Structure 1
Amino acid sequence: MLEISTLSKRFGGLTAVSDVSTRIEEGRINAIIGPNGAGKTTFFNLISGMYRPSTGTIRLRGQDVTGLRADQMARLGVARTFQATALFETASVLENLIVGHRLRTRSGLWDALLRTRRCKAEERICRDKARDALDFVGLAHLEARPAGGITQEERKRVAVALALATDPALLLLDEPAGGVNPEETDGLAALIRKIARRGMTVCLVEHKMSMIMNLADKIMVLDHGEKIAEGTPAEIRKDQAVIDAYLGSDHADVQ
């Protein structure tokens, strides 16, 4: 799905990501872990088009997409969520989601001003897509609720629904279970599995190791911007460099 070769990002004298090469494998759940400051979010910002790499290449299904903007990557099928879910607080949940599918529409300013047939047809499509995404994440009952009045866990699901509304092939999830309790974490893990069963490729950054070890097919570990390990959960759990840098000996037996 995504092939990353010797990717680096420097901010002045600071190297946040250093010569990272990896593959995000199609149809699987890929995970990125590491201590705070390891470069995980910077790496996400690079592959989603938020940042331009200092060096290295990114290929999406063989196409060189290095340096493309976030909107261009989104049109190619790469969607992402963020650690903090920013919504239009006074708008309804459904209205927030309608924005997502606008990426796929063609109506312009004059269409909107003149209320053309194309504009009206695309509005219906956007509304239907938003409802489908909301139903998929289990929040159809909240479509009319103001976004400012929903829980943290529901905001996480709305963020996923917003990404799904763009019709992505690759979904990047930045700490999808951050700030929610263990029961809600299990529910979000089940949602991620449901997304993968739908045939979508998933890559997530997450600190909750029990969740990752039971969810991911493949894990990459970053430390100080460098890749120190990569493999299955069983391989990562036993990797001494990962234990020393991040997991600690207590996690070696996490099932």
Structure 2
Amino acid sequence: MLEIEHLTKRFGGNTAVNSVSTSIEKGKINAIIGPNGAGKTTFFNLISGVHKPSEGTITFEGRDITTLRTDEVARLGIARTFQATTLFDKASVLDNLIVGHRLRTRSGLIDVIFGSARLKEEERVCREKAREALDFVGLAHLENRVAGDITQEERKRVAFALALATAPKLLLLDEPAGGVNPEETLGLAELIRKMVKHDFTVCLIEHKMDMIMSLADKILVLSYGEKIAEGTPAEVRANPAVIDAYLGSDHADV
């Protein structure tokens, strides 16, 4: 689905991502791990168009997206969440999600001024898609709750729903289980599995190794911006370079 060749990003004299080549496989749970400062979030920012690469190419479903803007990347079907879940806290949960499907609408200023039929139909569809996404993540009962009043785990699910409301093919999840307890982590892992069962492809960054090792089909390991390993959880867990750079002996196969 996504092919990445020699991807590099430099910020002045600092190389955050250094000639990384990999692929994200369709219908799979792909994961990126590595120590803090390894370049994982920069890697996501390059794929989603937040940053432009210094070198290398990104190809999505056969199309070169290396230099596209974030909105262009999103319209092609790549959605992402962020480490910090930022919502419109004074708006309802449903109103937060309506924003997501606006990516697929065409109404402009003239439609707003005259209250056109197209505007009204698109508003109806946006609300419908928002409800579908909220139901998918198990929060249909919260649609009228003010976003600032929901729990951290619920905010994570709303972030998933916001990404789903954009009608994506590939979801980039940046630390989806950050800040939630072990029981909630298990629930979010099940939700990620549900996404893949419904034909979404997932790539996630996560520090919770028990979650990653039980969830991912394929893992890419970054350290100081470079790829040091790639493979199945079993292959990564047994890789001496990964054990030394990140996992430690506690996660090594014995």
TM range (shorter): over 0.9
CA distance in 2, matches of 1:253, 1:23: 26
The equivalent residue for 1:194 is 194
Deviation at 1:149, TM superposition (A): 0.3
User: Aligned ranges for residues 18-57 of structure 1 at < 5 Å?
Assistant: 18-57=18-57
CA distance in 1, matches of 2:54, 2:103: 28
Per-residue CA deviations over 1:180-230 (Å, capped at 9, x if unaligned) read: 000000000000000000011100000000000000000000000000000
Deviation at 1:3, TM superposition (A): 0.1
CA distance in 2, matches of 1:118, 1:249: 60
The equivalent residue for 2:3 is 3
The equivalent residue for 2:109 is 109
The equivalent residue for 1:251 is 251
The equivalent residue for 2:203 is 203
What amino acid is the match of 1:110? I
The equivalent residue for 1:97 is 97
Over the residues paired in the alignment, what is the CA RMSD in angstroms?
0.7
User: Aligned ranges for residues 57-206 of structure 1 at < 5 Å?
Assistant: 57-206=57-206
Deviation at 1:112, TM superposition (A): 1.2
What amino acid is the match of 2:45? N
CA distance in 1, matches of 2:200, 2:66: 22
Deviation at 1:10, TM superposition (A): 0.2
SS class of match (1:74): helix
The equivalent residue for 2:218 is 218
CA distance in 2, matches of 1:89, 1:159: 13
Query: What TM-score, normalized to structure 1?
Result: 0.99
Deviation at 1:69, TM superposition (A): 1.0
What amino acid is the match of 2:239? D
SS class of match (1:51): coil
What amino acid is the match of 2:102? R
Per-residue CA deviations over 1:222-244 (Å, capped at 9, x if unaligned) read: 00000000000010000000000
CA distance in 1, matches of 2:174, 2:112: 34
What amino acid is the match of 1:165? A
CA distance in 2, matches of 1:188, 1:78: 20
CA distance in 1, matches of 2:143, 2:23: 37
CA distance in 2, matches of 1:217, 1:109: 45
SS class of match (1:79): strand
Deviation at 1:248, TM superposition (A): 0.2
SS class of match (1:87): coil
Percent identical: 75
SS class of match (1:3): strand
What amino acid is the match of 1:92? S
Q: Which runs of 4+ in 1 moved over 6 A?
A: none
Which stretch shifts more, 91-100 or 59-68?
A: 59-68
How many pairs does the alignment contain? 254
CA distance in 2, matches of 1:10, 1:178: 27
CA distance in 2, matches of 1:113, 1:96: 23
Is 1:233 matched up with 2:233? Answer: yes
SS class of match (2:252): helix
Query: What TM-score, normalized to structure 2?
Result: 0.99
CA distance in 2, matches of 1:63, 1:231: 25
CA distance in 2, matches of 1:26, 1:108: 34
SS class of match (1:98): helix
**Structure 2 unaligned regions, length at least 5:** none
CA distance in 1, matches of 2:109, 2:32: 40
CA distance in 2, matches of 1:253, 1:115: 63
CA distance in 1, matches of 2:4, 2:163: 22
